[in-house]
Structure 1
Amino acid sequence: MKRLIPIALAGAILAVPAAAQTGCPAAAQQSAALPVPVIHYKSKQIDGVKVFYREAGPVGAPVLLLLHGFPTSSHMFRNLIPLLADRYHVIAPDYPGYGQSDAPGHTQFAYTFAHQADIVDKLVTQIGASRYAMYVMDYGAPIGYRLALKHPERVSGLIVQNGNAYVEGLQSPFWDPIKVYWRDRSQKNRDALNGLVTLDITKFQYTDGMGDVERISPDNWVHDQALLDRPGNRDVQLDMLGDYGANVPLYPQFQAFFRERKPPTLIVWGKNDKIFPEAGAHPYLRDLPDAEIHILDSGHFALEDRLDEMAPLIRNFLDRKICK
């Protein structure tokens, strides 16, 4: 019979065969001391809609609000959360119509950025987060910046990853058919956007421009596309794409918030992104000259192939600027 050696890991005792310990006993002892953050998967009713969110980290610690992009959900932060949750109270919601949140039909729910910001605002208020740093990406940028306009005193800092607040960031050809729809909401122009919610485009968003495509799990586009393909969800997404244009007139207000409040800011940007290209990153420095900026050899969902670079940058930034 093999002799079993007890190992303590995150409060539990695991019995491991003795033979398994002969190769790296020092490494095993070190691993036993590593904290294993617990992530809770919760939901709250906000205006009759179930809003799902991931939550981890000590209650009372500085709050980090993670705001996802299109076409994903808080799933995009699944690997980052455990790397921050030992010291930060991390909250990552799914907007209505995304992830595990309810997705009422687009004739029953206003899928606008103003409404999504109101929902997130009510969620964090229910949770009790009165001050927070925000990680904003893609759709998360205008949602987060709308929150900042409502409650500028609550924002302790910004982490910006491929999230736009300047017209220079909207010059990509990707936006051309969407801008046509902003100007003319005809059914013809709406139908022209149908391809943006197909598997090919979802996969493109995860793989195009990545420094190392072999780091990208296919689970990403399989997961996201399954949610996009739910009955009625295409109209949800087309409503949101159509309403994105309502954010552009607010850019001067977003920029005024940057200048006036001067939140500590870290910019980590995938330079090969064809949706929010690098041209949208540098204008932040006009209004936030002290922002720290890192341009990465990555694409739209940079966390998928550059987590090993981004997590230390984010952790270091939060430790210096937020957790004082």
Structure 2
Amino acid sequence: MVAVHHRTVEVDGLTVFYREAGPADAPVLLLLHGYPTSSHMFRHLIPALAGPYRVIAPDHIGFGRSSAPSVEEFPYTFDALAEVTRRMLAVIDVDRYAIYVQDYGAPVGWRLALADPDAVVAVVSQNGNAYEEGFVPEFWAPIWAYGADPSAEHEARLRPALGREAVEWQYTHGVADFSLVDPDAWEHDLTLLARPGVDRAQLALFGDYATNRALYPAVHEWLRSRGVPVLAVWGRNDEIFAPAGAEAFRRDAPDAEILLLDGGHFLLETHLDDVAQAILAFRERVCGEYALPG
């Protein structure tokens, strides 16, 4: 049995909850979750990777068990989420790490890399987008519209994304066998989404998402200039981020490893073993070449 610790740290008056496992002197893998979930999405992956890695999985502000201040008290932007994460890592004395990014975790991870290009030594992207090709137009159209004009009409088109049907869909679309997906996962997310004020926080992040597209050229330059190793392991049936987004990493990281699996957006629910094995094999290949600690 792997001991998984459930910890909190204070950052500028905010409480950041995180899960941690593995030896203190092992190379750090920072797991960055997406919408609408939290570090809960990594509940099975953490024990599978702990040992070869020191695994750290925080909840973003407004998600999971971290603080969820109102939109009047906290600026819900991806810049702000990344800054809290950066300061959290400083508090726990982590300054060099690999990142596993999924969905919202990707723009947070890219900002960490751009703020300190030497800190991020490897990238695992699991349906974590960095390219225009990754966007599925039908899914993203209402988000782009709301970002350009946060009118009541455009907000009304997005509000269903906060509800049960949409949250369940994120877990089940593209999945061949629904019985593999633990329904507790979406029930957990829905309970936390229902907290007072969280709807406004999530709408603010929807509105801010266009800033991530604007960041992509800088991310591509970071990949090219730093030559960090990249593993893109993707649910190829994802109707949010298409597999073309995984393949596109090879433009700026020519040696990127691309693994497309027969799953959807939350690939860990159905392909945990495949993902864990790919990450561990990736670590073995890049550890010596990129002088990762451990």
Equivalent in the alignment of 2:201: 236
What amino acid does structure 1 have at the position aligned with 2:150?
R
1:222-257 per-position Cα deviation (integer Å, ceiling 9, x unaligned): 000000111111111111111111111111001000
Equivalent in the alignment of 2:224: 259
Output the TM-score relative to the length of structure 2.
0.96
Matches within 5 A, 1:200-215: 200-215=165-180
What amino acid does structure 1 have at the position aligned with 2:165?
D
1:176-211 per-position Cα deviation (integer Å, ceiling 9, x unaligned): 111111111223212321000101000000001013
Count residues in correspondence.
289
Using the alignment, how far apart are the partners of 1:280 and 1:212 within structure 2? 24
Equivalent in the alignment of 2:236: 271
Secondary structure of the structure 1 residue equivalent to 2:99: strand
2:122 corresponds to which of 157, 164, 183: 157
Instruction: Report if aligned partners of 1:44, 1:50 keep a CA contact under 8 Å in 2.
Output: yes
What amino acid does structure 1 have at the position aligned with 2:280?
R
Instruction: Report if aligned partners of 2:136, 2:239 keep a CA contact under 8 Å in 1.
Output: no
2:264 corresponds to which of 285, 299, 303: 299
Matches within 5 A, 1:67-78: 67-78=32-43
What amino acid does structure 2 have at the position aligned with 1:222?
E
Equivalent in the alignment of 1:37: 2
Secondary structure of the structure 2 residue equivalent to 1:263: coil
Identity %: 49
Secondary structure of the structure 1 residue equivalent to 2:240: coil
The structure having more radius of gyration, on CA atoms, is 1
User: What is the CA-CA distance between 1:87 and the residue it aligns to?
Assistant: 2.1
Equivalent in the alignment of 1:88: 53
What amino acid does structure 2 have at the position aligned with 1:165?
A
Once structures 1 and 2 are overlaid, which stretch shifts more, 285-294 or 180-189? 180-189
User: What is the CA-CA distance between 1:172 and the residue it aligns to?
Assistant: 2.8
Moved over 2 A (4+): none
Instruction: Report if aligned partners of 1:172, 1:276 keep a CA contact under 8 Å in 2.
Output: no
Secondary structure of the structure 1 residue equivalent to 2:118: helix
What amino acid does structure 1 have at the position aligned with 2:220?
Q
Using the alignment, how far apart are the partners of 2:137 and 2:30 within structure 1? 28
Instruction: Report if aligned partners of 1:39, 1:56 keep a CA contact under 8 Å in 2.
Output: yes
What amino acid does structure 1 have at the position aligned with 2:65?
Q
Matches within 5 A, 1:106-117: 106-117=71-82
2:92 corresponds to which of 121, 127, 130: 127
Quote the RMSD (CA, aligned, Å): 1.0
Using the alignment, how far apart are the partners of 1:239 and 1:183 within structure 2? 12
1:101-127 per-position Cα deviation (integer Å, ceiling 9, x unaligned): 010011111010000000000001111
Using the alignment, how far apart are the partners of 2:99 and 2:177 within structure 1? 27
Tell me, yes or no, if structure 1 residue 219 matches structure 2 residue 184: yes
Secondary structure of the structure 2 residue equivalent to 1:52: strand
